[in-house]
Amino acid sequence: MESSEPSTTVNKINRITGEVDSNILLVGMMGAGKTTIGKSLASYLNKNFIDSDHEIERRTGVNIPVIFEIEGEAGFRKREAEMLRELLKIDNMVLATGGGIILNKENRELLKQSGTVVYLRAAVNDLWHRTRFDKNRPLLQTLDLEAKLVELYDQRDPIYREIAHIVVESGKQSVHQMVKLLAQQLAYPPLG
């Protein structure tokens, strides 16, 4: 289990004061555990939990594959950027973002300025096991899922690392273990 030290003064101050930036922003590949871990982390930290993809689906009344089918990836990315700008006006939340949200430079800048960005990093093999039967991820509807995951990972991993204040491996540990690790990284006392 690897993690990197926070890369900003803000997070170091938080370790001393025991406080966390108002918002915790989870980034990472599809299947990294952003929604599952985010819900548990929000509950532990007494914060609101929001999943940006679920919010897009709720507001449009259709699932993401339908948006991709009608508007294409560009249309979805536009909706995603608009949703991010709106959601970042909310305080005291854990936000699980879509895997591709970091492809837009403006989104990356907004994320870095709006809270503590946590990159949940998972190995391609773990991502494959978690997403192989998921029909709600349009970019992964391909004959060679592993090759697609490698392609996306190679493209996105450096970007996630660039914007993250904290990088945590979301491999084989339980949700409870992940929340405990993140709470420590975010300067909260350990779980019992």
Give the separation between CA 70 and CA 64, rounded to whole angstroms: 10
Identify the sign of the CA torsion 27, 180, 1, 132.
negative
Q: Contact at 8 Å (CB) between 171 and 156?
A: no
DSSP state of 62: S
61: left (phi over 0), alpha (psi -120 to 50) or beta: left
Q: Of 16, 49, 29, which Cα lies nearest the Cα of 127?
A: 29
79: tokens are 């909706």
For the domain covering 9-185, report its CATH number: 3.40.50.300
Count of CB atoms within 10 A of residue 59's CB? 11
- pLDDT, one tens digit per residue, over 65-101 is 888 889 988 999 999 999 999 999 999 999 999 989 9
Q: How far apart are CA 56 and CA 109, in angstroms?
A: 21
pLDDT tens track for 15-64:
444 445 579 999 998 888 899 999 999 999 999 999 999 999 999 999 98
Q: How does residue 134 score in pLDDT terms, banded at 50, 70 and 90?
A: low
Q: Where are the domains of the chain?
A: 9-185
| Strand, helix or coil for residue 118 | strand
Q: Check whether 7 has a pLDDT greater than 50.
A: no
